[in-house]
Structure 1
Amino acid sequence: MARRGAFIVVEGLDRSGKTTQAEIMRRRIQAGGREVVCIKFPDRSTPIGKMIDSYLHSQSDLDDHVVHLLFSANRWEFASTILSYLKQGKLVLCDRYAFSGIAFSVAKSSETPISTASHSESSLEKLSPITLPWARAPDSALPSPDLTMFLDISPEVALTRGGYGEERYEKADMQRRVRNVFEEIGRQVGATVEEAGNGRWVVVDAGRDMSAVTEEMWGHVQPLLDGVDSPVGRLWE
């Protein structure tokens, strides 16, 4: 089969420098004469994306299960587009993907059980917390990245960076729980990395000088610049 483009995902905690590093990667790849497409999730331009944006800015309240499914639906909106770009030989560079959606949903649900609205205490029913298997299910069969770079940073360091705390999930305790879930996801991906369709998961210390982070990431990206021979894998399959 003809070589296809590589699918690379940049993940990480809030204020870890994901978007900045993804843009640096994009410019560097283009400077080398290769075609690259950048996608950022959630994509807030779609109708679903606008609902997510309202929620993230605390302008609306939604059940956590609904929020998780909205984030997944937002990714599915672009699944065929990603596959099309890869088939054309273009490298797809993604700022956040399914792993973020899973990590934030599980981390949030692990702290506070969600209750259905009720005017009677006797009829109050608690919904089941969002578990890792439940959170993974809606994203099953999405295109699987060939490489995921997780930018790791402590909440204490993130707190010193500009803009921290502007959105709903940017709280130190929440970020610690998200970090723990990301670690478990990384272990799961790493355990299946030799199986067909499972790309590498690498952890990058994002608390260092920005240029050091950039160079480490570039070292992981370079081997994929000329494309991939294998078919596109599918998440969790």
Structure 2
Amino acid sequence: MSSSKRGAFIVIEGLDRSGKSTQASLLHERLQDSQDVATTPKVVLLKFPDRTTAIGKMIDAYLRSESELDDRAIHLLFSANRWELASTITAHLAEGTTVLADRYAFSGIAFSARKGLPYEWCRTPEIGLPAPDLTLFLNISPEVAAARGGYGLERYEREEVQKGVRHVFDKIGQAMQDEGEGKWVGIDAGKTKEEVAEELWKAVEPLVGGVQGPISRLWETTLTPDVQGGS
């Protein structure tokens, strides 16, 4: 990898049971297998929420319906869980390591906004997080997702919830494209596992050798002068 390049930050998003974790693992393996250690960066796989941290354990109990929290409180906990790893992501990228994330800030916004919380309020705690260079959205109908194994085991795995979440994801994806906040690519997750994996690889392969330019931050360019500290 050229010294002028850094690692790429790649995020996989989608509805529950759209195959995110499976595809993230497959992509992680393929990225590792494709690497020439002398010229290509390493790759790490992160999963959000990270249920191993103190905050993550609170989130895990909530998702398993073992505890109850105010909607705003749980949203801020999800955001805090991402901020716990923000410096780690930045360090990996600066070292030339590719970072692959299973879910990210966009899930937090989509699930909370679906509950009726204001979209901009949901987005605000995420401002300043490392921005992905590529977000791959696994697009699947809630009906198809509901037919997959294990559906319904966690709090949000209900068709009416997933339909609302999908609508917010569509809004986020369009806004990301309009605002130039990194590339957002929709992938038909209703295809076979192998077909989906190939579609993902086509989008990711150009980033395998790293990317040019500094690490950008989510939505900082959309802040008003007053929020940024200007007059």
Calculate the TM-score normalised by the size of structure 1.
0.89
Matched, 1:80 2:87: yes
Taking the aligned partners of 2:129 and 2:77, their CA distance within structure 1 comes to: 15
Counterpart of 2:111, as a letter, is F
Could you list the runs of 4 or more consecutive aligned residues of structure 1 that deviate by over 6 angstroms after TM superposition? none
Gap runs ≥5 in structure 2: 221-231
Taking the aligned partners of 2:159 and 2:146, their CA distance within structure 1 comes to: 8
Counterpart of 1:49, as a letter, is G
| Corresponding residue for residue 185 of structure 1 | 172
Counterpart of 2:11, as a letter, is V
| Corresponding residue for residue 9 of structure 2 | 7
| Corresponding residue for residue 40 of structure 1 | 47
Matched, 1:232 2:215: yes
Taking the aligned partners of 1:185 and 1:158, their CA distance within structure 2 comes to: 20
- 1:67-216 maps to which residues of 2 (within 5 A)? 67-108=74-115, 110=116, 130-193=117-180, 198-216=181-199
Taking the aligned partners of 1:156 and 1:78, their CA distance within structure 2 comes to: 33
Gap runs ≥5 in structure 1: 111-129
Helix, strand or coil at the partner of 1:145: coil
Taking the aligned partners of 2:71 and 2:84, their CA distance within structure 1 comes to: 20
Taking the aligned partners of 1:132 and 1:143, their CA distance within structure 2 comes to: 20
Helix, strand or coil at the partner of 2:99: strand
Q: CA deviation at 1:2?
A: 2.2
| Corresponding residue for residue 21 of structure 2 | 19
Counterpart of 1:3, as a letter, is K
Q: CA deviation at 1:165?
A: 0.2
Taking the aligned partners of 1:59 and 1:66, their CA distance within structure 2 comes to: 16
Taking the aligned partners of 1:143 and 1:186, their CA distance within structure 2 comes to: 17
Q: CA deviation at 1:208?
A: 1.0
Taking the aligned partners of 1:153 and 1:99, their CA distance within structure 2 comes to: 16
| Corresponding residue for residue 113 of structure 1 | none
Q: How many residues align?
A: 213
Taking the aligned partners of 1:26 and 1:154, their CA distance within structure 2 comes to: 25
| Corresponding residue for residue 124 of structure 1 | none
Matched, 1:51 2:58: yes
Taking the aligned partners of 1:62 and 1:150, their CA distance within structure 2 comes to: 28
Taking the aligned partners of 1:31 and 1:48, their CA distance within structure 2 comes to: 33
| Identical pairs, percent | 58
RMSD between aligned residues: 0.8
The one of 202, 205, 222 equivalent to 1:219 is 202
Instruction: Pick the structure with greater CA Rg.
Output: 1
